[in-house]
Chains A and B, each alone.
Chain A
Amino acid sequence: MAAPTRAQLEADVLQPTITVEWWNGSAWVDVSQHVVRTRVQSQLPKALDLGAGAIPTAAITLSGATLSTIPAFAPVRISYGLVSTTTIRRFVGYVTSISRIAPSPSAVAWNCQGVAAAIAAQTIRIPVRRNRPPHTQTTSTSIEDPNNSSYSAGMINEVLWRAGGRPLQQRAAYPTAPWYYDCTSSLLTPEWSWLDGENAWDDIARLCRAVGSIIYQDEGGVVRVRSVVHATSGSAVYGWTDQALTAAQRIAQNRGLYQTIEERRSWEDVPSVITVRYVRRGVSGVVECYNDTTARYLLPNQSLQLQLDSTEPILNLKRIEIDAASTVSGTAVSIQQSGVQAVAHTITLTATNPSNEPAIITAIRAYGTVVLAIEEGTVSAARTPTTITSRELRTEDNPYVQNELHARGLARLLNDLYGVARPSVTLRRCASDVDRTVGQIVSVTSSALGYTDERCVIEYIANDANSWMDVSVTPLSGLPQISDLFVVGQIVSNTTTRTLGY
């Protein structure tokens, strides 16, 4: 069998199939025969807002009481197809909760979240790096393994790799990877970057917001990181229309139909002034970067694992001083240190009491150079044309916006994004189409709303049981595309006019 063809997908009558599998630790278990219903939804950040889109979710209703006892956080994948075709992945994630439904106790609902939920549940620390791009283009040859001595890929690439993902373009080399990622180049680069949070997904989303990028997981389980300019680029690969078309016309024109269309135009996010805050950072001299006086008790020859959190990211840890004394004789004890390591804000070490007497640690101090916050500043950009009523958009305090030039570029980007009230268009009751994914560029035609092949990006897809889809799209007119910008290494004629990036 082969994947569904356009002719099969645009046929007037569809015979959908659904495959649901979960990973039992050693093999994928197919539970498709128990599936009563599925609903999967994926989403970009709303209206191309910077940062992370909502983590995809899936709700699977199954018949079979035994399916309520699968292990916690079991990997799950859902694929849609047609009778006599293979299936195409529409969701990759984890079962995050299970409900048993009365009055039919044999019915079980698996509530699932995308792979981003697993990334979010991880603490990933990346040491301080200077002028490292936040994300870099993944290719079939890009060096993505952080352990490779030639590694120079972006910080988000590194986080995704360490979280278990592998580059989509190198799928053949990593056929058993739990999921894949796909990155474009970034628009802006912080001078200093590091990662030391308890939620890696939130951390990289924050970095994306600082550099004009979006991150989302598509239906195939691929985590995509794209600069907003890359996200708006490309030609429409498909169209939806309200014209009455036969199946043959739909195939020939590469279009589909929808039942209703709704446009919402909001001014809530349209500012008159955009203000971006930044905090300039520089390397300190050797300073005391950690100090505590917590009493810690150590028996003779006992070791203690310590994790110390510095307020500033540490560039180079010089030494750790530990004050300790015997609780018997009162004399000073020289605590042995081993495995000392400093990554971003976190210092880890093992402290051992080498004496024959119990000891109490009375103080710990760490010294080293840190990436110090030096001064704060703001950059404001007025929108043209301005709004009638003054409204200011102030960005969050983002540690990755570190100088005036960066802030100026980000302010201009936000002005480009939010400078006009961008409508959100929702198409309801479209026929299920396994070829459609969030992030795709499509066109929308609506005689009622005056859209003629309006170029849009798919922002949201909710697919119900592989029969119907609700789709939200964001029109892209007025937004910059990569083809509007000069690109490093892309040679054009001398008279070609384009713009600089940010």
Chain B
Amino acid sequence: MAGILGGLSFPSWRTGEPVSAHKAELLRQAVLRLDAVQRMPLSVFCSHVSFWPWSFQRNPVLIWRGAVTWRSSATTITIAVVWTGSVLSGDRVRVRVDNTTTDFTPVEGLNTFTISGNYPDLTVVPIDITLTSTSRGPGGYPNPSPNWPDVFVQEVSISPIAPQWSYPSVNTFGDVTETRLNNLTNQLLWLTQAYGMHIRPVNPYLHREQGNLTNRIDRIRWIGSFVRPSTHTQLRVRGHVVVTQGGQTESIDVLVNNNQIATWPIPTTIGVHSFEIVGSITAVAANNRGIVDIRQTKTAPANTVSPNFVTITDVSMIAPVIPPPSLPVWLPRQSMTYATLKSQFEALRTATANIRLAYTNTTSYWRRQYASPARTAKDEFIFDYVEPVQPHSAFRVGEAIIVYGEQAQLVRGALEYEPKDGNNPIQWRGSVETSLLSGSSAQSAILYFDTLKATPIGSLYFVRGKRLYYVAEWLGAL
């Protein structure tokens, strides 16, 4: 399959057989793919999109809904919730995992809750996080009394994500023996499993349909978090803005841990403008957490004029572009000395060891797997009416797409949306559309991109739908 880890094959070696150029080349290709994987952009956990949870002053109030794809090695679901403000005695964080509900008593500040889990591999597990309180007034828009403080979900993830067998060791490549070759192959297999088990969340991203929000524009923003792998040094935000109000002074500001790392002035000319904002995240120490806050601000003219419409399609950590390891190609019947043969295998071993080192230094990222939210929390489950629905979007790198919900369509090409009509959510239209799910109850599906038209590697796609709770990409291979 054509995912970034797809199509890899791991040969076995036996004493007495010719040293196969075919097999050695398979190892070289595995090294190059793994080197690419450890440097590819990494998704940031999406706390939610659009409005802050404290905008939803109801009791109880759903503050995060989404899902995670279970992997067989995982044992624990971790939920991190930041509670900024006073905790009342009856306040609870209610976590529902696949219809099993657990209440946690929060404290002020960071709360880390864990729940044990054991599901079949590749099962999509739905997760809801709700605030409930016996100390606050009953629900009913707009205000329970007293109001909820600022609460947001910092992370929902499962762990550990890792092969359930030991990483084999290979000493410096001496003679070309069956044991050495098989151990080297198994190292690459192990690393491919370690990276390939990881499911990449495809987040729903901010799209503002209505800009008529007077002075609360800063509330429309994208919040998320990441644990920075040492390999990744920048945050990249991509999207586009439709400027219908020309001549305004607006910008998109990217903050990490409350420090602005990048800003992009929105053009003043009417039209569609794409953007890519990149800022350094090295101020966040490796394996530490960064809280991402992306805002659209308008300083002029007066706030009563609507800001322009922004769509964010991608928020990722990126690694510096460096050349891939230089490894000689293995050709059938290629002539060389035994010393050269050993040095070529040693080059493979060294490159593999470097990937392993990078993996070891970034296990805080790779050994956990983020859940991904269901579009916006502000939807019919909270308000009993349909709000604009953000499509999930991603630049395809995987072999297969995982979707969970009732109805979902993959949309490619020039994207436009239709205004809501009655109870229908916003339907995003594209020049190429493929149905992924079509049911009346939530279900999951794994669909290989090879079977979905017009989704080559690297292409931007959107997934829209009705009651669409989760989208992710499977890097595949194993």
Contact = CB atoms under 8 A, between A and B. Distances in A.
Given A374-B1, A498-B338, A405 B26 contact: yes
A62 B414 CA distance: 84
Interface stretch (A70-78, A279-287, A345-353): A279-287
A489 B176 CA distance: 6
Nearest to A487: B18
B6 A282 contact: yes
B209 interface: no
Given A284-B448, A285-B446, A409 B335 contact: no
B14 A488 contact: yes
Interface string B4-23: 00110111111111111111
Contacts of A66: none
B177 A285 contact: no
A497 B333 CA distance: 12
A488 B341 contact: no
Interface string A462-502: 00000000000000000010100111111111111111111
Contact of B177 (A130, A137, A227, A489): A489
Interface string A80-116: 0000000000000000000000000000000000000
B116 interface: no
A500 B1 contact: no
B338 A493 contact: yes
Interface stretch (A183-191, A244-252, A428-436, A438-446): A183-191
B178 A489 contact: yes
A285 B402 CA distance: 11
A488 B12 contact: no
Contact of A485 (B15, B19, B26, B445): B19
Contacts of A152: 12
Contact of A487 (B2, B11, B19): B19
Residue of B20, B24, B400, B445 contacting most chain A CB atoms (<10 Å): B20
Given A488-B181, A492-B338, A285 B11 contact: no
Interface string A353-374: 0000000000000000000001
Interface residues of A, number: 49
Interface in B155-206: 175-178, 181
Contacts of B332: 408-409, 412-413, 500-502
Interface string A270-299: 000000000010111110000000000000
B123 to A, nearest CB: 13
Contact of B22 (A188, A227, A283, A499): A188
A283 B339 CA distance: 38
B7 A282 contact: yes
Contacts of B10: 131
A497 B14 contact: no
B333 A499 contact: yes
Nearest to B26: A405
A283 B450 CA distance: 11
B422 to A, nearest CB: 35
Contacts, number: 142
Interface in B365-411: 400
A229 interface: yes
A496 B338 contact: yes
Contacts of A186: 17
Contact of A489 (B11, B15, B342): B15
Given A409-B22, A502-B18, A502-B20, A488 B177 contact: yes
B21 A409 contact: yes
A413 B332 CA distance: 8
B472 to A, nearest CB: 14
Given A492-B338, A498-B335, A131 B16 contact: no
Nearest to A191: B9
B334 interface: yes
A489 B338 CA distance: 12
A482 B18 contact: yes
Given A188-B20, A406-B22, A500-B332, A486 B338 contact: yes
Contacts of B15: 488-489
Contacts of A492: 338
B176 A486 contact: yes
A271 to B, nearest CB: 17
Given A494-B337, A500-B333, A488 B6 contact: no
B11 A189 contact: yes
A285 B399 CA distance: 10
B120 to A, nearest CB: 12
Given A480-B333, A499-B333, A285 B18 contact: no
B337 to A, nearest CB: 5
B12 A131 contact: yes
Interface in B260-300: none
Given A409-B332, A488-B16, A495-B337, A285 B447 contact: yes
A500 B21 contact: yes
Contacts of B330: 500
A494 B18 contact: no
A274 B91 CA distance: 75
Given A416-B333, A495-B339, A502 B16 contact: no
B338 A488 contact: no
A57 interface: no
Interface in A139-189: 152, 185-189
Nearest to A186: B17
B457 interface: no
Contacts of B25: 405
Contacts of A480: 333
Contacts of A326: none
Nearest to B25: A405
Contacts of B322: none
Q: Which of B16, B176, B178, B336 counts the most chain A CB atoms within 10 A? A: B16
A409 B338 contact: no
Contacts of B11: 131, 189
B415 interface: no
A187 B19 CA distance: 9
21 contacts: A131-B12, A137-B16, A137-B17, A187-B18, A282-B6, A282-B450, A283-B1, A403-B7, A405-B22, A409-B21, A412-B333, A486-B18, A488-B16, A488-B181, A492-B338, A494-B337, A500-B21, A500-B333, A501-B19, A501-B21, A501-B333
Instruction: Rank and list the top 9 A-B pairs by shortest CB-CB distance, nearest first.
Output: A501-B18, A185-B17, A489-B15, A494-B339, A412-B332, A282-B1, A486-B19, A500-B21, A485-B18
Interface of A: 130-131, 133, 136-137, 152, 185-189, 191, 227, 229, 280, 282-286, 374, 403, 405-406, 408-409, 412-413, 416, 480, 482, 485-502
Interface of B: 1-2, 6-7, 9-26, 175-178, 181, 330-339, 341-342, 400, 445-448, 450
Given A189-B23, A227-B18, A500-B24, 8 more contacts: A133-B17, A187-B18, A282-B6, A405-B22, A413-B332, A486-B19, A494-B342, A500-B21
